[in-house]
Amino acid sequence: MKKIILLISIILIIMPSIGICKETDKIFLNILLKVSSDNYKDREYAFNLLIKNRKMLADKLINNIKSNKNNPRVKELSINLLGYYRIEEGINILLDNLHFQTTYSMKEKVTETMYPSVKALIKIGSPVPDAIISYLTGEEDESTLRLLAVIIKNIDGVDLGIRRIELSEKKFKNSNKEASLNRLKDILIKTWK
């Protein structure tokens, strides 16, 4: 119940900044209030509506991340919601914002919570490691590769992550991507093996 109330609060904070009109605000608020209802049928109806409107919500959150460079708190909340709803369409924008931090998140001591995008990508789960491999260009710096290694370790585990990278190395032999894959594998081995 606390998570639902928190989610309602987050969405109400984000709604004005993502340009949802007032009529849509009322509809979403009504849906969110029904999600926390004691009536089973109301909850089921609200969850079904959220699922149907998932694409619209995903688009709005992604646009919000792109357009809110001057409002880091709203950007962070949007990133968190992409992870909370496990919105796969948001993987690339999360990878683009991998190093994004707010003053609040900088106080964290653990990498998984220090970077909102890392946390969201871990929550999205299984499609992320393949997206990371596709995302690599061969020009990533060490800190980026370390964050990507943390994500892969949390989703696949060390051994499966290394195996996935080794299989990908065969596909990208003699390319710029191969160098990044080798460095990523080395980080996994040296840090957690």
Residue range of the domain that includes 30: 1-6+23-52
Q: Is residue 161 pLDDT above 60, yes or no?
A: yes
Q: Are residues 29 and 116 in the same domain?
A: no
Total tally of structural domains belonging to the chain: 2
Using 50, 70 and 90 to split pLDDT, how confident is the model at 6?
low
Indicate if the pLDDT at residue 99 is higher than 70. Answer: yes
Q: Exposed, middle or buried, 50 (CB in 10 Å: 0-12/13-18/19+)?
A: middle
Do 185 and 147 belong together in one domain?
Answer: yes
78/162 same-domain check:
yes
Residue 141 lies in a domain: yes
Residue 18 falls within a domain, yes or no?
Answer: no
Residue 178 lies in a domain: yes
- Residue 145, pLDDT > 70, answer yes
Are residues 188 and 112 located together in one domain of the fold?
A: yes
Asked whether residue 14 is assigned to any structural domain, the reply reads: no
- pTM above the 0.85 mark? no
Same domain, 96 and 176: yes
Task: Examine residue 184 and state whether it is found in any structural domain, yes or no.
Answer: yes
* Same structural domain, 40 and 112: no
Write the CB contacts of 110 (distance below 8 Å, at least 6 apart in sequence): none
